[in-house]
Amino acid sequence: MSCLGAVGGLFPSGFFFPQGRNVEQWQLVDDLSIAKGNHAFKLGVNFRRDDVSDFKASELTNPPAVLTSLAGFATDTVDQSTSENFALRSPQPIAIYSVGVYFQDEFRVTPKLKITIAARADRNSGGICQSNCASLPTVPFQNLSHDPTTPFNAMVTGGQGSILRSVENVVFEPRIGFAWSPRGDRTVVRGGVGLFTDLYPGTILDNFTTNFPQVVSFSTLGGSVDMNEPGSGVNLVQGCNTAFQTAFTSGQTVGQYQAAAPGCGVPPLFDVPNKFQNPKFAEWNLEVQHQVGRNTQLSINYVGNHGYDIQLFNPYLNAFCTTAVCGTGFTQLPLAAPDTRVAAVQQLTKTAIRITMA
């Protein structure tokens, strides 16, 4: 058990371990170059698979975090909070892969002009939990019925192998560039434009393997500090977990759960749209380079990029603000949570963009 706060902080970070992940990576890379006449052809493939033992679900499961003041410690009373996560399984075996193929032709049109034409196709998987540890809302949160009489297990589908609902099948990336020397080798004009994609961070998958009922988090006030006593704070959060898991498996509503476990909160939720898009980046440049004398070069370069379909978490889907906090003139947020079955809802979106020009 970890006691924090005015007590002085015994083992202040021990409850976050084990954490991290063990990763095995399998990779196949093959490239081929063929020169024929004025053409230089290149083609290749890059395949990568990661097999991950993920310990995210283990954090704060043992020991729990007990926060109390010095007075609470002296009177054996938790006057701040007891927090603990409850995981059905950890570590979680996760597998993800990516594969890309490309073709390129460097064509020397004249001794002064070379054109490069290329195309690439990339596929990123949506991740697989080999112990069926993924949980997602039955439909994206915006389309979900927020009726509190709908049971928890009709709101969220647990025990899934596929982590993301659906991913973009293939990203096609055309590219073209040129190099032109209008006056021998002293002046060169270069330019190009192309579309590129990127891998999404594999750590975002943790969020959908730690949704309820796979992982449930509770924090309560009260009880005794000594976890071996029947009325301890640890016993209280363990009771919350038992009540919630019973509510989920037996098809209970939030009202039935709260009646059986008064004072216990509802869990947060991570969501993802129906189709997950890979981040994309359009990049371009134009450069004029001129040699002055034997040791000096002048270069003028214009570059730019525009990124879109970039992942961003929206944490406000279930946000609200009570009258006591916001008053009566603030109407941008509802006065109560739109869905009382869950706490904060974070949805992974593709709404971020990036524009750079120089």
Tens digits of residue pLDDT in 157-202: 999 999 998 899 999 999 999 999 988 778 999 999 999 999 888 8
Collect contacts of 153-157 with beta carbons under 8 A, ≥24 apart. Answer: 153/248, 153/249, 153/251, 154/251, 155/341, 155/342, 156/211, 156/212, 156/213, 156/269
Segment (H or E) for 326: helix 323-326
60, part of any domain: yes
Res 11: pLDDT:
44
Helix (H, G, I), strand (E, B) or coil at 124: strand
d(C-alpha 170, C-alpha 357), whole Å? 28
* Cα–Cα distance for residue pair 262/81, rounded to 1 Å: 16
pLDDT for position 3:
44
Residue 99 lies in a domain: yes
Output the CA–CA distances (angstroms, integers) from residue 319 to 193, 264, 333, 338, in the order listed: 42, 19, 7, 8
DSSP per residue, 156-202: EEEEESBSSS-B-S-EEEEEEEEEE-TTTTSEEEEEEEEEEE-PPPG
283-300 confidence digits (pLDDT tens): 999 999 988 877 888 999
Quick check: is 339 in a domain? Answer: no
Q: Is residue 64 part of a domain?
A: yes
At 6 the pLDDT is 37
Which helix (H) or strand (E) segment is 26 a member of? strand 21-36
Residues of the chain with pLDDT below 70 are 1-18, 329
- Number of domains forming the structure of the chain: 1
Q: What is the model's pLDDT at position 12? A: 45
Q: Give the pLDDT confidence score for residue 5 in this predicted structure.
A: 39
295 burial level (CB within 10 Å; 0-12, 13-18, 19+): exposed
Give the residues across from 303 on adjacent strands: 285
Note the pLDDT of residue 17: 63
Tokens of 56: 């995210």
Kindly state the tokens that stand for 262: 């008064």
What pLDDT score does 358 carry? 75
Residue 292 lies in a domain: yes
pLDDT at 8: 34
pLDDT of residue 16: 60
Place of tokens 């310990």: 55
- Which structure tokens are listed for 290? 């001129």
Q: Classify residue 354: in a domain, yes or no.
A: no
The reply to whether 285 falls in a domain is yes
Token readout for 101 is 């193929």
Domain of residue 261, residue span? 2-310
- Which run of H or of E encompasses 254? helix 254-260
- Residue 351 belongs to some domain of the structure: no
